[in-house]
Amino acid sequence: MLHLAAWFLFPPERALFNADPSLLANLYISSAATTFGIIALIVGYAFTVADRARAEADAPLTNILPEAIAERLKERPGETVADSVAEASVMFSDLVGFTELAQRLGAERTVALLDQIVTEFDRLAVAHGVEKIKTTGDGYMAVAGVSRPQDDHLVRLARMALRLPDLVERLSATHGVNLKIRVGLASGPVMAGVIDADKFSYDVWGETVNLASWLDRTRCRARFRSRIRSRGRSATASSVCRADRSR
């Protein structure tokens, strides 16, 4: 703009002295190059700010939803996310005796303990390619093979599940408490989707989810874990537990 203003406000006929035309040409070229350089910097900065703002706006979405689901919503904001998955794995876990322990510890120590446990669970989930669905108090729900296909979904989730008891034991010793964990793991068809337009929530439901939750609350979990270790499949374990359930 300054270059254009100088061009029109100070034409050659108003010059106080005659300058070498080659010098003027070089000045015009250098001025034009400087102007374009400044414009490029401003445009680049604007794109950087826009990308940063977009990333900050997307961060809450990716923190709440699985990455694949968050990408779907960003690409197609008005789309209803509702999926039927033929084969996936679901895990529930909870801490034995946690309610009574929390009453003795008080709010501050309870929150500190839970925060560390959930943080470590989340790290294990990421390391094994497993997706956390939600936490409810001391309960933890995770899945594999739901938002994206994974042929080894059961193996991934089982390996994570087998790491949890030792992890809880180590964290219990750190905090000077005695906690044990129960784990229920099931594999089969599930349904999943995003619920609530105001506060996005990605949830999974179906008979497989119910079975995993039931296994978490029963003594069948030890037999279930033994089957996973020996066969790497949940079908046999599920049938054994279903038979026990019907008695």
85 plus 46 within the same structural domain = no
Q: List pLDDT tens digits, range 104-150.
A: 999 999 999 999 999 999 999 999 999 999 988 899 999 999 988 99
39 plus 88 within the same structural domain = no
The answer to whether 183 and 205 are in contact (CB under 8 A) is: no
Q: What is the pTM of this model?
A: 0.66
Q: 206 lies in a domain?
A: yes
Number of domains in the chain: 2
pLDDT higher than 60, residue 240:
no
Alpha carbon of residue 235 to chain centroid: 28
Residue 149 sits in a domain of what CATH number?
3.30.70.1230
Alpha carbon of residue 20 to chain centroid: 66
Measured between alpha carbons, how far is 23 from 10 in angstroms, rounded to an integer? Answer: 16
The answer to whether 181 and 95 are in contact (CB under 8 A) is: yes
DSSP secondary structure code for residue 128 in this structure: T
20 plus 108 within the same structural domain = no
